[in-house]
Amino acid sequence: MGLKTVCLLLLVVALAVYGQSRDRNQKKYKVVCYLGSWANYRGGDGKFLIEHIDPFLCTHVIYGFAKLAGNKIAVYDPYLDLKENWGLGAFQRFNNLKKANPQLSTLIAIGGWNEGSQKYSQMAGDPGARATFVKSCVDFCLKYDFDGLDMDWEYPANRGGQPQDKQNFITLLKVSSLLLS
């Protein structure tokens, strides 16, 4: 074997090893991006539409927000989020990003600053209400084609919440994880 052949073989092996480690790293790390849906209503340079999202920039994209109503997840802004009644269909447009990049995961965020904490405190503190909530989240994600949920409860034990909220939040997440698995 000549020196050129040995160098070529070493190069091929190095590239193969580099490629494998690169693939593992791509699966290992998540790049999570977030869309505040209210940016649709801004004027001028602040306006940001779903169509402005590069579906290859992130591994996960979160749409904010849905809300809590009657211990169930609910649409926050029907005009923006849905197509019914001449709405803008943002949920569908958002989840269509997966057509361009099938590796992309889309999630819906529930909560946020405007929701406060009181409703979440009451729901998380009641086992029956927790079960209702989790089932509604599964149904919501299936209905609107989301891959998961971002629980944005701001903030357990504050803003109208109770001291036991922190433990109830952990219980809610554990129950959610078990039921969603």
Residue 163 Cα distances to 11, 40, 101, 127, angstroms: 61, 36, 43, 17
Torsion of CA 170, 176, 178, 179, to 10 degrees: 160
Query: At a CB cut-off of 8 Å and minimum separation 6, what does 137 contact?
Result: 73, 110, 149, 176, 180
Distance from the Cα of residue 50 to its chain's centroid: 14
Nearest to 126 by CA among 171, 177, 161, 174: 171
115 is catalytic: no
Stretch (H or E) spanning 61: strand 60-69
Separation between Cα atoms, residue 14 and residue 168, nearest integer Å? 51
Q: Six-digit token pair at 164?
A: 């036991």
Identify the active-site residue in 51, 84, 115, 154: 154
Question: Which sequence positions are flagged as catalytic?
Answer: 154
